[in-house]
Amino acid sequence: MENKRGSWGSNFGFLMAAVGSAVGLGNIWGFPYKMGSNGGFAFLLVYLLLAAFVGVAVMLGELAMGRKTGQSTVGAYKQLSEKFVFVGYFGTLCGFLILSFYSVLGGMVLRYAIGYLIAMFGGDGWAGQGTGFFGWLLYDSGSMLLFYALFSIITLVIVMGGVKGGIEKFSSVAMPALAALLLIIIIYIACQPGAVDGYKFVFKPNFEPLKNDFFGVLKTAAGQMFFSLSLGMGVMATYGSYLDKKENLQKNAVIIPFFDTLIALMAACAVMPACAAFGVDFGAGPGLLFASMQTVFANMGGFIGNLMGFLFYFLVLIAAVTSSISLLEGTVAVLNDRNIAKGKEPARKKNSLIIAGLIFIVGIPVALDALGSGGAAVPAPYELLGFTVEDLGAGLVPVAIDCWLDLYDCLSEGIFMPLGAMIMSILIGWVWGTKLVKEEVEAGGHTYKAAKFFEICFKFIAPIGLLIVLIAQIQSFF
Ligand code: TRP
């Protein structure tokens, strides 16, 4: 019988949900261009080392905390040490802020998928704007709000469905579909002349960036790794809390980063070669996912261009939804657990509605400030502070305030996330003791093979690694 909190139906279902949380816009949007512009293969090496020595340990720590206490973030800290309950609240707040901008981006992805669907049937999916659509969309408040709302509703409905009936069910279908779509696109792109330059851009070992700015590469890789693995805000603890005691935590903590990295690399093998083959600058950075990719599919031309465009944005949509549901669940579970602790019904549906509604409101400025391009329906933070678009162009405006998205991102990903994860590793390494993780790993009769390795990770490597991320993030945002 499923208990009141909810639980996964199987380890496979848990893995699909957890990998789904990890695989998101970060993999498809961020990873390819960050890897390409930070040393290619050399960046990958740094990324893999960080994932192996910091990512896997923090993943295991979060999963163990959640499953041990059978609680989501706040409840878990409450049970382990009341004093540190603020870390749980940090995490929750962080997930809250990330979800607000994540859903705005998700809405835009949805709009692109629909645009290609219309185009496939001969209509004009781009409001007469052609490849200039991105710039137009940002200023079209009606569309921005509508698709932001639609994406938020999709997320809400799945989370309302519960752990097994909503999140697990959706992820178990969506994740295999995502992998299949990605493969189709990779193969199609690989057959196009010129694609090879894209692979070269991503994979060519270039140790110059490492020599010139090792710290810069390290912080980019570390920040990307943390965001991509959904660490540092208790989402994984919450997912772990729904996992059966007999399942192997240690193995799961390795499988999730493995697939997350694999999909990121696959995305790199689709996005960059596509740009190379169809004459689009792949150094475009953040505009890549929208403006550049639309040009790729336009240059591909005809029905096949529209079809590939649809498949691509549909795949990105899946990736975004499986991540957004984890972010919403992280917060909703806190309220559910609080109700249960008071002896009441969890009231998941009501909690989901309240939280999703609040997040929607908080995200409205993100949807309406045209990502800081100036003169939009809602002024960007820098405009409120009296800076102008000219100051922005001249680089006088700190990144943290150049648009609402970056402001939220800087607070959450930049500060709360590394800080929370750092405190957690210190607590596990030095206060609660690594015994906590050991007991939990061994709970299902599994041997804790890498005990010594993880001990060193929790005590030294993870806290130091996270301190570096924290300092670097603060530096890069201000
Ligand atoms: N990992 C997701 C991505 O790569 C984003 C994400 C989802 C996330 N849930 C999270 C990030 C929880 C941090 C914490 O796009």
Quick check: CB of 22 below 6 Å from ligand 1? yes
Q: Which of 418, 409, 236 is nearest to 333 (CA)?
A: 236
Q: Work out the average pLDDT over 152-178.
A: 97
Query: What would the pLDDT profile of 312-325 be if each residue is shown by its tens digit?
Result: 999 999 999 999 99
Residue 303 has pLDDT above 90, yes or no: yes
pLDDT digits (tens, 9 = 90+) for 355-405: 999 999 999 999 999 999 999 999 999 999 999 999 998 989 998 999 999
C-alpha–C-alpha distance, residues 286 and 237, integer Å: 30
pLDDT digits (tens, 9 = 90+) for 412-465: 888 888 888 899 999 999 999 888 999 999 998 999 989 999 999 999 999 998
pLDDT, one tens digit per residue, over 78-132 is 999 999 999 999 899 999 999 999 999 999 999 999 999 999 999 999 999 999 9
Contact 360, 149 (CB under 8 A): yes
Q: Say if residue 475's pLDDT is above 90.
A: no
Q: What is the pLDDT of residues 218-243, one digit of tens each?
A: 888 888 998 999 998 899 999 999 99
Split at pLDDT 50, 70, 90, the class of 285 is low
Confidence (pLDDT) at 76: 95
Residues 6+ apart with CB under 8 A from 357: none
Please tell me the distance between residue 16's alpha carbon and the centre of ligand 1 in angstroms.
Answer: 14
Average pLDDT estimate for 125-151: 96
Mean pLDDT computed over 27-54? 88
Q: Is 227 in the pocket of ligand 1 (CB under 6 A)?
A: yes
| Cα(169)–Cα(277) distance, integer angstroms | 37
Mutate to test the pocket of ligand 1, among 235, 261, 413, 416 (most ligand atoms within 8 A of CB): 235
Distance between CA atoms of residues 149 and 168, nearest Å:
23
**Which residues have a Cβ under 8 Å from the Cβ of 243 and sit 6 or more positions away?**
7, 8, 11, 14, 63, 66, 67, 249, 252
Give the pTM: 0.95
Which residue of 27, 151, 178, 227 sits with most ligand 1 atoms within 8 Å of its CB, as the best mutation to test the pocket? 227
Cβ within 8 Å of residue 266, ≥6 positions away? 182, 183, 186
| Positive or negative: CA dihedral 382, 385, 389, 390 | negative
Tokens of 50: 């960080």
- Decide if pLDDT at 1 tops 60: no
Q: Take atom 12 of ligand 1 and give the residue whose Cα is closest.
A: 230
- Place 58 in a pLDDT band, splitting at 50, 70 and 90: very high
Least confident of 143-147, 166-170, 208-212: 208-212
Q: What is the mean pLDDT of the chain?
A: 93
Q: What is the CA(316)–ligand 1 centre distance, in A?
A: 14
69: CB partners within 8 A, 6+ apart: 75, 76, 79, 80, 241
Per-residue pLDDT at 28:
92
Q: What is the pLDDT of residue 286?
A: 65
Mean pLDDT of 129-143: 95
Is 224 a pocket residue for ligand 1 (Cβ < 6 Å)?
A: no
Using an 8 Å Cβ cutoff, are 94 and 412 in contact? yes
